[in-house]
Amino acid sequence: MNLRFNREFVISERACSSLTHLSIDACFSCDILQFLSCCSNLQSLTIKVEQSRRRYPLQNLLNSSDQNLPKPPYLSLICSYLTSFSIDINDLTFTDMKSYLLLMPFLKHFRLEGLTYDLDFAKSDIWRTIFENFLSKLKLFELTGLRIWLGNNADDDEDNLSLISQITNSFGRNDRYWGKFWCVHQAHKLRPNHINLTLRAKAI
């Protein structure tokens, strides 16, 4: 099933709960947790997140009789069947991303692309903590063309190349975690004021 959240429409909780494979080609970050709470049987999910806030709140997408969604912080929400998650982000923070991943402990394949201002996405030690503590089932981790904007003052090529070298080494085969538990194939490309990060890591 494919959805685009660019206008108001009605979808029942019963219909949501029967979905197993879902692709959303335009939604907003404020919708994702609420939508996951309706789709308890999802096995694979592909999402493209827009930067701006949505025109209509998610409540308008549900029948009035189906307004029993969990309240933030969604402590009881676990996506028990979700094994594949692909997301195209636009200006999400790493904190946002972590809040989604904590609900998906049975993920086997996680793919991430898009644009962000948060350099934490390129920090291997943070990913390691999440994998070890929350995503023990994960077998394939892909960052595909993730563009990280460094700011207007980050236009020094030497500094950028040094940063890219640090990132490359941190995910490298000589690292005590990535080299032991994951086989990493990667490429880093530099654009003005951006890091373009491509990483494919497969569990050994």
| N- to C-terminal Cα separation, the chain | 33
Domains held by the chain: number: 2
Q: What are 128-181's pLDDT values in tens digits?
A: 999 999 999 999 999 998 998 876 655 566 777 788 888 889 999 889 999 999
Residues 15 and 68 in one domain: yes
Between strands 194-203 and 140-149, the pairing is antiparallel
Residues 44 and 108 in one domain: no
Backbone angles phi, psi at 178, to 5 degrees: -65, -35
Residue found by looking up tokens 């003005």 in the block: 192
Q: Where in the sequence is the domain holding 41, given as residue range(s)?
A: 1-82
Q: What is the pLDDT of residue 201?
A: 95
Residues 111 and 62 in one domain: no
- Taking the whole predicted model, whether its pTM rises above 0.75 is answered as yes
Residues 106 and 194 in one domain: yes
Q: E-assigned strands of the chain?
A: 2-4, 21-28, 44-50, 84-90, 109-116, 140-149, 182-191, 194-203
Q: What is the pLDDT of residue 149?
A: 84
Q: What is the pLDDT of residue 153?
A: 55
Residues 100 and 154 in one domain: yes
Low-confidence ranges of the chain (pLDDT < 70): 1-15, 51-76, 151-157
Q: Is residue 90 part of a domain?
A: no
CA dist list (Å): 201 to 13, 142, 147: 36, 6, 18
Residues 110 and 182 in one domain: yes
Residues 70 and 113 in one domain: no
- Report d(CA 49, CA 30) in Å as an integer: 10
